[in-house]
Chains A and B, each alone.
Chain A
Amino acid sequence: MEFSLNEETVILRDSARRFLKERCPISTVREVLSGDAGYSSQAWRDMADLGWLGLIHDEAYGGFGGSFFDLFVLFKETGRVVLPSPFFSVVLCGLILGEAAGPDQKAAWLPPLIEGREIWTAGLLDERGGYDFEAPSLVASPAGDGGYVLNGTRLMVPYAHAADRIVVCAHVRDPASGGPTLFRADRSLEGLSLEPLDTLSLEKTWAVHFDQVRLSSESVIGGVGRGAEALAGVWPRATVLKCAQMLGGMERVVEMTVTHVKERRQFGRPLGALQAVQHLCADMATCLETSKLISQQAAWMISEGRPAIMEAAMAKAWCNEAGGKCAAIGHQLQGGIAFTEEHDMHFYSKQARAAELTWGASWLHRRAVARGMGI
């Protein structure tokens, strides 16, 4: 057991924190969120230049061959500054390509993604908000020429408007060799349309409609019928990166709130001198520490190439609830001012809520834990 970060990881964390503090201060976040793009293209280029998009990919594709744990640490830092950007979506698509794509596809598709030349996103939620990997409602009918015709809708697709490519999992209706299959769809394809969704999420989010969208056979990522398996393989990593983001958010909420209760005076003394307030602060600190331990464990196991399905599920199930609790206490203790637009707290509670509800609510992960326990 060794609970301190490696020296290189500390250096990476500190430089990421400095970069984000300089280039993505909360004033930038506010600007970005009120603009149409929903992210800062300058910051995006910087992140690509820093190598964040290809951190864990092979050097052969322009990546850095870094560890998953380091990527986890980066996501935690982005969570601290509630960075609105397609970072998660692009990294997720990179993970999907890494898991499912053949060598030629990786060689062709990963470099532009890693260099930040192309923005990728994934549309994985069905019309009821479920991850329907096993039986997607999105349908890909064989077109006869070896290609497919895609019909259906994906909801809550982050940054679809900015994306060059959208990854989806569609059901190939082919009795011979069908099943859930991953596709890469160009956003500019005919029949693909976007419907803006006004959501609580800090990510710009869209409904993506596929109406007779024609895809070539080369658009299939990996093999036909392999989509569910590939996404199941990516699932623990994606969920743990969401945990990292929540963790960063929780860390800032604890800092903000503790600072507030130290400075804010009522009844002739700091709020933080009241035991009712102190106990809530202790609860927050416990939420943070426990979330950190359980998600660091999962990230480390993944990094070491060990099985981590249980660990990832435990982490997400726990962080979901701890993140929500932290945000709730953050609001409670900072009072009316934190309910205003001008205060930063609402960014953190929105991020916490969005992260909690995506990539599996707690019951779903507890079900995975129960299965892993064999009960």
Chain B
Amino acid sequence: MRFTFTPEQEAFRLDVRDFLEAEIQAGVFSTRCADLVQPGNREFSLKMAERGWIGLTWPREYGGQGRTYVEKYILMEELFRVQAPLGYHFAGDRQVGPALIHFGSDWQKEHFLPRIVRADEGTVFCLLFSEPEAGSDLAGITTKALKDGDYYVINGQKVWTSGAHQADHGWLLARTDLAPESNRYLSCSEFIVDMKTPGITIRPIVNMVGEHSFNEVFFDDVKIHRNYLVGRENQGFKQIMAQVDYERAGLERLMQNYPLFVQLKEYVQTLDKADGGAEYPTWARDQVAQLEIEYQIGRLLCYKTAWMIDQGATVSSQAAMCKAFCTQYEQRLNDAASRIVGPLSLIRRGSSWAPMRGDLAECLLYQPSYTIQGGSVEVLKNIIALRGLGLSR
């Protein structure tokens, strides 16, 4: 048992923190909530790449640093603390790289991994999983990939694709075994698709925040060379289930609203009896203390999952628990913050009257998405019950 970091890890954290402070001082970015969904900043990603901070856990042969997940989480914790602009390399670093390391062909690894690690041009990825009729039940996808010589021909529709309009490549799940009697869990495959391939149409979806962050993506006879099939044909669903364990428990599920929490703590410090009698500040402090407890627990859940990955343990149930807990914490943070701050919570960015720079209103708008994206709380609870506790369907 040890609930502290090693001196080397602490030193690493300080390195990251120093770098980020210098970037903020230089005006490269400013800290505001909910910026993870914003388009990336390649200049910033290049600086991270220079320091070896993209692909930190990947093997050295592919340009990675071969470091632990605990170290990766230290890095991510510092980045999220100040909401650094990670968008350019985020999907490649978090999802595509680890999946390729597990399932990719030699050519795919040699081609993509070093490019992602260097934050080269053309390494922005989007994830083409969900469909209109396949959300939580991902095995229900109907987008088809029909083999035709050296190519697969893709037809169908994806939806909720974050950043498709900015991405160079898509990570696609499509059905390769169309026989009616085929097992739905053993009939899908994963592909990498160049988003500029003819036949791809992207239509924006404006979310309830009022932003264009995700899209519908249509495939009309889109040809993908078989070199871009990832892993084994018809094993795509299993591969994805293994991949998501690694990304589920990330600190981004806990810290998307971190600046809001910091500001809430400052806000509560300034309360006194003039603000509505003795009851109000006492109640508000109780609420914020509860949030602090939940935040600290969420942080331990994340680091424990990272530690388990480093130990080579199976983390599906642990990661599901971590994500379910953390996303619900983020919603409670928004609830509590808005109830403490009161009606001014509703004022959006841009007005000098907006409390907490308008972060609060922004977070409140994003709030419903936290417990849906990347696996709803209900699906996560199913995973805990089935894989963690051994209950049957």
0/1 interface trace, chain B 260-278, chain A, CB 8 Å (1 if under): 0000010011000000000
Docked-complex contact B392 and A317, CB < 8 angstroms: no
Q: Does A282 contact B293, Cβ atoms closer than 8 Å?
A: no
Give the residues in chain B near A366, CB-CB below 8 Å: 285-286, 289-290, 293
| CB contact list, B293-343 vs A, under 8 A | 293, 296-297, 300-301, 303-304, 306-308, 311, 317-318, 321, 324-325
Number of interface residues of B (CB under 8 A): 44
- A6 with B1: in contact, given A366-B289, A375-B285 (CB under 8 Å)? yes
Q: Of B144-152, B205-213, B378-386, which binds chain A?
A: B378-386
B119 to chain A, nearest CB (A): 28
- Which of A69, A290, A318 counts the most B-chain CB atoms under 10 A from its CB? A290
- CA A300 to CA B3, docked complex, whole Å: 7
A296 interface residue (CB < 8 Å to B): yes
**B297 in contact with A293 (CB, 8 Å):** yes
Contact with B389, one of A285, A317, A374 (Cβ below 8 angstroms): A285
Given contacts A290-B325, A294-B293, contact A282 B5 (CB under 8 A): no
Determine whether B70 belongs to the interface, using a CB cutoff of 8 Å to chain A.
yes
Whole-angstrom distance between the alpha carbons of A4 and B378 in the complex? 29
The residue among A6, A9, A258 with the most chain B CB atoms within 10 A of its own CB is: A258
At the interface, yes or no: A272 with Cβ under 8 Å from chain B? Answer: yes
How far, in whole Å, are A236 and B290 apart by their CA atoms in the complex? 18
Asked if A297 is at the interface of the complex by the 8 Å CB criterion, the answer is yes
Q: Does A29 contact B (CB under 8 A)?
A: no
The answer to whether A285 and B289 touch (CB under 8 A), given A293-B301, A294-B296, is no
A262-B390, A281-B385, A286-B324 known; A2+B290 contact, CB < 8 A: no
The residues of B that contact A9 with a CB separation of less than 8 Å are 1
Using C-beta atoms within 8 Å of the partner chain, give the interface range for chain A.
35 or more
- Least distance between A13 CB and chain B CB atoms (Å): 12
Q: Is the CB of B296 within 8 A of A279?
A: no
Q: A1-B307, A2-B1, A279-B381 are in contact. Are A373 and B389 (CB under 8 A)?
A: no
Chain A residues near B392: list those with CB within 8 A. Answer: 262, 270, 272-273
Q: Which residues of B contact A (CB under 8 A)?
A: 1-5, 70, 265, 268-269, 285-286, 288-290, 292-293, 296-297, 300-301, 303-304, 306-308, 311, 317-318, 321, 324-325, 378, 380-382, 384-386, 388-393
Q: Could you write out 30 A-B pairs with CB less than 8 Å apart?
A: A1-B2, A1-B307, A2-B2, A2-B307, A258-B389, A262-B390, A273-B392, A273-B393, A275-B382, A278-B382, A279-B378, A282-B381, A282-B385, A282-B388, A285-B317, A286-B325, A286-B384, A289-B301, A290-B297, A300-B2, A363-B286, A366-B285, A366-B286, A367-B285, A367-B289, A370-B285, A370-B286, A370-B289, A375-B265, A375-B289
